[in-house]
Structure 1
């Protein structure tokens, strides 16, 4: 089908805007990677935006990994992210299933409360949350951070999964009940696997959020003696420890280390992310 001149012009404008947006997103990532292969002389020699000189300084990565103990911080982030995501998925799936399939008096209000929680700024809850965790002896504790992240991820997970469970036919549950399956068995064996697109979408969005979270990590893990930081907090602490002489190459190398897992994750599961969000919107 041949496009009119007006449609062709609009298509060209859209493509141009998408190209500009792509450059705006990709360029900082490329610049960060190139900057991680430089030394301080190149930064202070009027070359912060130029390509790195040869030979490339790959030792910045090993220097950060060993001298600044980024191996431990990386493991902390992986542990917190995976544990928080798994716990949030389980709780949000169970809650969404009950709200969607077993409506009771006040279920709509409960759903409204969960959805409304997404509109509350995080900064408003920092002080009471810190005192609550401190009274429970969960500050400077990986478990406390996992519980907070899991609770924070519940509203979005419930919002997405309720629409999935409402769209599934009730005949499957009735057939499972005739076969003697309990309600818990029906949920874990039938309904949970069927909600896989929504679960993948929620899981990846939670991983992206938790992996990059900084404020709560700084407030809860605030003991410099223990140094049980996650990567975003560790990068900020690393810059502070450099004091008056910032080592720009290692600092950018630390940023690259923190970005690589998320870039790989999004590249692998980008179809599932867009597909899950679209499916949830349609349903």
Structure 2
């Protein structure tokens, strides 16, 4: 089969369009950095679209961290995100292994029931979820939010890991059993390490989702000291009322954005490779 050769003018057009798209994607972040280094006087004197005056107000970050409790919000978000990722990996890896490697009546139906969870809009379960968690005394707790995040991330993790476990040859399990490994030994020492690309992929995807999640955190958390970063940022804006401090507000936005942006830049290739590998397998 012959492949069509793209002419140089067309390639240059595509490159220009990609550069243009890159500029529009990066510009909001650069704009936020500049805004976070200004005082209110620069905003109200018509300099909101100009470069910040010297000296740069790096103190906006420390001010936001201490005055608006962003240190506590950052710790809360880290704990909830890490706990949710660990619980999601435990639930998805064990379930995907059982459904992929063992045949029993109803396994296929159970698999599609799990995947059907991806089709349910989150807004449909907000009210019943709130009353359920309230009855279970899980409102306003790390464990409640961790459990909820893990449940919502379960279908996608199951879909990705099923592809990895189905592709592994059964001879590996048989050899491990002959060597004296138990069922748990086969899973933890043989199968789980081989599915590591899928585990890394869903971990990074879930990290991005959990870190930036706002709706459930707003509903379940009513203690200001337990807010996550997205909720804390909205609370900060509301607390300012009529005296909006634009510099600290943009600083808070960057505090909540930069960590997850760095992680995504570092691991973006793993995300793409893991999803493609799982789908192909």
Structure 1 and Structure 2 fold alike (TM over 0.5):
yes
Partner of residue 53, structure 1: 53
Partner of residue 40, structure 1: 40
Distance in 2, Cα, partners of 1:83 & 1:67: 27
Partner of residue 273, structure 1: 271
Q: Which stretch has the larger CA shift, 46-55 or 131-140?
A: 46-55
1:147-187 CA distance string (max 9 Å, x none): 10111111110010000100111110010111111111101
Partner of residue 114, structure 2: 114
Partner of residue 246, structure 1: 244
Partner of residue 131, structure 2: 131
Gapped regions of structure 2 (runs ≥ 5)? none
Distance in 2, Cα, partners of 1:68 & 1:115: 40
Partner of residue 103, structure 2: 103
Q: TM-score, normalised by structure 1?
A: 0.95
1:124-157 CA distance string (max 9 Å, x none): 0000000000001111111111110111111110
Distance in 2, Cα, partners of 1:96 & 1:181: 20
Partner of residue 145, structure 1: 145
Distance in 2, Cα, partners of 1:143 & 1:58: 35
Q: Which stretch has the larger CA shift, 100-109 or 189-198?
A: 100-109
Gapped regions of structure 1 (runs ≥ 5)? none
**Structure 1: 4+ residue segments shifted above 3 A:** 6-10
Report the Cα offset of residue 97 of structure 1: 0.6
Distance in 1, Cα, partners of 2:149 & 2:172: 33
Partner of residue 181, structure 1: 181
Distance in 1, Cα, partners of 2:189 & 2:153: 24
1:16-71 CA distance string (max 9 Å, x none): 22212211211111111111111111112212221111110000000011111111
Partner of residue 193, structure 1: 193
How many residues were matched structurally?
280
Partner of residue 88, structure 1: 88
Distance in 1, Cα, partners of 2:33 & 2:261: 13
Task: Establish whether residue 232 from structure 1 lines up as the match of residue 230 from structure 2.
Answer: yes
Q: Structure 1 pair 114/59, CA: closer, same or farther in 2 (3 Å)?
A: same
